[in-house]
Amino acid sequence: MKHFLLIIGFLILSNIVVAQTEGSKIEITILNYVNGTSYNQPELIEKAFYPQANLYLTKNKDELWTVPISEYTTWYTKATSGKFNGRTGNILSIEYFNNIAMAKAEIVVPAKNTRYIDMFLLKKINNEWKIISKSADSQKSNANSNRILFIVSNAHYYGDSKLPTGNSYSEIVNAYDTFKKAGYTVDFVSPKGGSIPLAYINTTDSLQKKYLYNADFMYALKNTKNPNQINPNQYKAVHYIGGGSAMFGIPENKAIQKIAMTIYEEKKGIISSVCHGTAGIVHLKTKDGQFLVAGKTINGYPDAFEKEGAEYLKQFPFFITKTIEEHGGIFKYSPRNSVHVEVDGNVITGQNYLSSKYVALKIIENLNNRIKSN
């Protein structure tokens, strides 16, 4: 019960901190449903739905099964109130116009190797968003409820210049796809939340093209969370994405630093980065005041590969290789266009977009080994 209240309280607090847009109000309604069904809280489910709402489910493969919300809530009164029942949920998308909205959520039940997709129709009634109908279907899945937090930047330009930059789309996609195939849920956080700039998009690459037209994936990039919306206790690892944007807004952000170090120190989780994303870890400090990178072998985009004298480079607040070495780290790298990954305890770093997949695989291997050892 305590764990449940902490999560609900955090979600409520998070949505108070951010502006109460219609989207965030709809999100609260969907989260009432998600948390109510995950923690056997029928009163939260009732709060999310219009009293006369129906759920349209499937029975006997093809038979439509209409369940009134009054009946549906009774399904969650048979177990201990507030006790986690193994269901985890994730909002995939929200779309609204005036007083009507649609939403989509993923519900994962690892014990049954099952993934549900819920589709909601909502309406604003007496200034409150209510679910007026829900339909769902399921499929077999290896989804395991483990979550990875991708850290991305809102910076559209190099520093104060008008030189455009962005987050490396290829680095995002290569790692994201690897985690998803392994059953992980991936969330995105940026300093300001919301949409982020993207760079290095190559539509001749089949994987990049696949995700470019994946509505749920692109919704997540358009609606990244801000640090106030992140509960570090939910994550097994953080992963800093590269691209020129990674040099700005991320390394000095105290809230993101706290999230990363909470996961690393209190949850014994993994801190990882790739390419210029390594800039995000150079200033991280442990509770005893030591730099995270001190005494560790680190990889990332090396200073030696930067274009000396280039205008973009004049905007850099620091240099990755130099700063890591100044902070007591050992920086290693390979020739250009080589896959290079360094694993030093729970710090895993990669050199470039080609290394993104392999950084993700090392994280998964590390986490799987923990499960086996336990």
With H, G, I as helix, E, B as strand and everything else as coil, classify residue 18.
Answer: coil
With H, G, I as helix, E, B as strand and everything else as coil, classify residue 8.
Answer: helix
pLDDT at residue number 374: 61
Q: State how far the alpha carbon of 85 is from the alpha carbons of 4, 10, 229, in Å.
A: 11, 19, 23
CA dist., res. 280 & res. 324, Å (int): 11
Tokens read off for 271: 């801190």
Taking only the tens of pLDDT, the chain with its 374 residues reads 334 333 333 343 333 333 478 999 999 999 999 999 999 999 999 999 999 999 999 888 788 999 999 999 999 988 788 899 999 999 999 999 999 999 999 999 999 999 999 999 999 999 999 999 999 999 999 999 899 999 999 999 999 999 999 999 999 999 999 999 999 999 999 999 999 999 999 999 999 999 999 999 999 999 999 999 999 999 999 999 999 999 999 999 999 999 999 999 999 999 999 999 999 999 999 999 999 999 999 999 999 999 999 999 999 999 999 999 999 999 999 999 999 999 999 999 999 999 999 999 999 999 999 877 66
Cβ contact 275:247 at 8 Å = no
Name the E strands within the chain: 49-59, 63-68, 88-97, 100-109, 114-125, 128-140, 147-151, 167-168, 185-189, 198-199, 235-240, 270-274, 297-298, 330-331, 341-344, 347-350
Cβ burial of 60 (10 Å; 0-12, 13-18, 19+) is exposed
CA dist., res. 317 & res. 151, Å (int): 19
CA dist., res. 38 & res. 191, Å (int): 29
CA dist., res. 327 & res. 69, Å (int): 58
**pTM score, whole prediction:** 0.92
Determine if residue 272 is left, alpha or beta; phi over 0 gives left, psi from -120 to 50 gives alpha, anything else beta: beta
Q: State how far the alpha carbon of 17 is from the alpha carbons of 29, 229, 249, 273, in Å.
A: 17, 9, 20, 28
pLDDT at residue number 372: 72
Q: Please name the residues in contact with 20: beta carbons below 8 A apart, sequence gap of 6 or more.
A: none
Cβ contact 174:183 at 8 Å = no
Residues forming a β-bridge with 107? 89, 116
Cβ contact 272:167 at 8 Å = no
